[in-house]
Amino acid sequence: MDHGMNHGDMHMDHSMHHDGMNMDHCGMSHDGMNMNHGGMHHMHHMGNLKRKFWISLILTIPIIIMSPMMGMKMPFQLTFNGSDFLVLILGTILFLYGGYPFFTSCIGEMKNKKPGMMSLITMGISVAYVYSVYAVIANDILNVKPMVNDFFWELSTLIVIMLLGHWIEMNSVMNAGSALNKLAALLPDNAHLIAEDGSVKEVNVHDLNEEDTILIKSGEKVPADGTIIDGKTALNESLITGESRDVQKSVNDNVIGGSINGSGSIKVRITGTGESGYLSKVMNMVSEAQSSKSESEDLANKVAGYLFYAALIVAVIAFVTWSLLHGVIYAIPITVSVLIIACPHALGLAIPLIISRMTSISATHGLLIRNKTSLEGINKIKYALMDKTGTLTQGDFKVNAYDSLDNNYEKQDIIKIAAAIEQSSSHPLAEGIINAFAELNSDELKANNIEEISGSGIKGTINDKEFMVVSSSYLDKNNIEYNSADTDKYLQQGNSLSYLVSDGKAIGYIAEGDSIKPGAKEMIQFLNKQHIIPVMLTGDNQQAANKIADILGIKEVNAQLVPEEKQQIVTKYQQNGKVMFIGDGVNDAPSLTKADLGIAIGSGTDVAIDSADVVLVNSDPADVINLIKLAKQSHTKMIQNLWWGAGYNIIALPLAAGVLSSIGIIIGPMLGAVIMSLSTVIVAINAMTLKIK
């Protein structure tokens, strides 16, 4: 990487500041997840739905015993004088009580002029009820001959099956969001606050403030984000970051609220509580990803709308046709069957369940999905463009060599002057220079007027003389001569080179080496197997970039880039296919935003993370593998669920309408209800089997 490329990149600690995040731990509510199922709003809460199902089932049992199915009397059935009126009373209670959630949601759909799944269910049970009331009046009051078959048996079982299906589905929704609940439960209730006089008192976690000092004993949960000021320990951060091994921590290291302290006691100064805490931000990210509408959800809703109108048309045609051929009494059950089968209830949950499950899984694997819509095109990604330093390599530069190129300066002067200018920079190359100077145990120089050179380096004045620490590309661009023979051997070893310049002349050089991240090669191999072409974009010199690329197996390399050129290259590649970009620096933010899928390394800068669609919390490039696997599995499950939720109607609707009745094949109301509810249960189970594999 070019010395100037990522100047100002700051290794972000775990107190990430994500704009717009405001979810307090104590205020986290899963019920707030905005998964609006056709206006059902979670069917009035899980407990209410469960109670409604059991009461409806109790009402259904006597109806089944006293009412014939499709006019056929079963051996277990019991009828007596007035039993029809008792069935009518029970059926009316069931219709109004058990059907209430469907009615209220239907009204909402109609007000929005978007009839859908709830409208179809309401229409189906309403037709069955009204016709059954007519049947009781005709048979028991008007004594119409032949007798009219009622549909209380079908009505009651349909409502119970629908409620059972909803109960199962809502339970699945709750389970799908369980990662949020687990995250919310990570923080302890109390903390040990150290007062100014050194005494320790136990306080509620919500009473903690930034800059407070707390004591965390062995085995306790960390109550808030902070920095260790005394002691050392090992923290288990697995539930937060997905990293299974314990992380060693000592003075000046950051700790995350919700992680578990190991064997040592530590004192921590709090840096983030409540809404500013890392855990709250993670939960907010997950919740936002779950609640935002995606293209697939919009597609599912459109399909539900088309199905509503298709069912109406088929039902009207079937009713008119069979009424003309065999009469209204014969046509009603066929019409009811069409309306029951067409209920696209499963379709409404087909996509939200998958997305909810996907974001929950990703959160516990160190993948924070900020924009789930971007993952839907995962199968169309053709190129994976990526930064080098901090993404493929550790960004932990060590000075391997430095020397003077001017007789007026000693070798040590070069590192001494460069360190003075770099003192205020947190760039990885700058840190390497400062660390190398510290080993000299020499007196520091004082630099003033420090200023960044956009995309190229940094400059400052020492004793009224201006010095610059820049890249070779800056020298080439400004026609500053230097003898490359002195430095070529370091480039061939994969080092990054910085030059010290004064009075328009290169007076010295510093060669720094970086190590490749353990998961980088595994990621590149996986991308190649997926036929996604890896491309390296870096501000570093060509030789250093090629060295890293050869080790990793990357064929396409674009080196010595300035920040705006990265975004231009993303645009260029997009002309040939969809592009994902993986980066971590301030200069990567435009590219992360421009790419079809932007992936930020979690240890990168706030700006990069806020620009990304997905954040890799563990800063491990190998996590890209899990991300792609999860996204592809989710896409496959979505397609499967769309077919389970609506595809069966292609066959079921014509059969319910009676197109094959001449050969004895026809779907009745009860079978229609079973098929519809079965598809719903299959959709829920299919979603819950989603996993990274």
Q: Please confirm, yes or no, whether 387 is among the known catalytic residues.
A: yes
Residue 147 DSSP one-character state: P
With beta carbons less than 8 A apart as the criterion, state whether 670 and 154 touch: yes
C-alpha 447/C-alpha 449 separation (Å) is 7
C-alpha 45/C-alpha 64 separation (Å) is 28
Burial class (CB in 10 A: 0-12, 13-18, 19+), 461: middle
Q: Which helix (H) or strand (E) holds 650?
A: helix 649-657
User: Could you tell me how many residues make up the chain?
Assistant: 693
Q: Is the peptide bond before 146 cis (omega within 30 degrees of 0)?
A: yes
Residue keyed to tokens 């660390």: 435
What separation, in Å, do the N-terminal and C-terminal C-alpha atoms of the chain show? 34
Q: Which two tokens stand for residue 490?
A: 């370091």
Active-site hit among 387, 540, 584, 588: 387
With beta carbons less than 8 A apart as the criterion, state whether 23 and 283 touch: yes
Which has the closest alpha carbon to 343: 52, 648, 640, 81? 648
Dihedral of the CA atoms 642, 643, 648, 650 (nearest 10)?
90
With beta carbons less than 8 A apart as the criterion, state whether 600 and 386 touch: no
* Cα Dmax for the chain: 120
Based on its alpha-carbon atoms, the radius of gyration of the chain, rounded to whole angstroms, reads 34
With beta carbons less than 8 A apart as the criterion, state whether 681 and 168 touch: yes
Q: Which helix (H) or strand (E) holds 496?
A: strand 496-502
With beta carbons less than 8 A apart as the criterion, state whether 201 and 232 touch: no
C-alpha 318/C-alpha 324 separation (Å) is 10
Residue 139 DSSP one-character state: I
3-state secondary structure of 469: strand
Strands 457-462 and 614-616: what pairing?
unpaired
C-alpha 195/C-alpha 533 separation (Å) is 57
Who contacts 382 (Cβ-Cβ below 8 Å, separation ≥6)? 532, 533, 573, 576, 577, 578, 579
Which has the closest alpha carbon to 39: 145, 152, 94, 116? 116
What backbone phi and psi angles, to 5 degrees, belong to 582? -120, 120
What backbone phi and psi angles, to 5 degrees, belong to 614? -135, 140
C-alpha 533/C-alpha 433 separation (Å) is 35
Residue keyed to tokens 């390399």: 557
C-alpha 194/C-alpha 13 separation (Å) is 24
Residue 389 DSSP one-character state: B
Q: What is the DSSP string of 110-126?
A: HHTT---HHHHHHHHHH
C-alpha 654/C-alpha 652 separation (Å) is 6
Q: Which two tokens stand for residue 383?
A: 């190129």
Question: What Å distances lie between residue 304 and 120, 301, 632, CA to CA?
Answer: 10, 5, 24
Positions marked active-site: 387
